[in-house]
Structure 1
Amino acid sequence: MFATAARRSLSGLIPPKIATPGALSSGSTSARTQSVVDFYSKLPKGPIPASEQVGGVRGKFFEGKNASGKPLLATIFILFGIGYTIDYQMHLKHHKNGHH
């Protein structure tokens, strides 16, 4: 059951077989061959336009003309600060009833 559902969902992505004996012997172009030609003729050609490139944090900070590692460094320092604060607070709780 799962294989059939997966095959059905992927059937739009995978072009049909055109090199079958029936398709080749039916003349110069068959309906199946023409559908494949139509499919490939509608695909975009050339490089990806700038408007369709990666967006979000990755596109803003890690790719393009403004590429930098600032978000990565900020994340490291924030996690260090949170860990240090938690460790410091746990140490203060340890000293609540007296020193070492």
Structure 2
Amino acid sequence: MSAIKSLLPPRISVSGVTGASGSTAALSDLYSKLPKGPAPKIQPQGFLGRYYARYIATSSPAPILHATLAIGLIGYAFNYHFHLKHHKTKKHH
């Protein structure tokens, strides 16, 4: 029977009745130090955090446009570097 009692939590009472493992004063002191109210909102940090909070978390279609423009600009930069820059001297045609 005593083995089962060690598995049960102590009784906690507001009236000052002590539990099996100690006084309720320590427990009420612990709970009085905990923060009250809702947790503060975490502000996004960094470029990706702000971008996620502004566009992705709100289900905005803007990231599709941003990705399309980025791919287009990168594609044009590659095309210019590997092909178009040779045509300005007109040696190849």
> What's the TM-score once normalised by structure 2's chain length?
0.44
Structure possessing the higher relative contact order (Cα contacts under 8 Å, 6 or more residues apart): 1
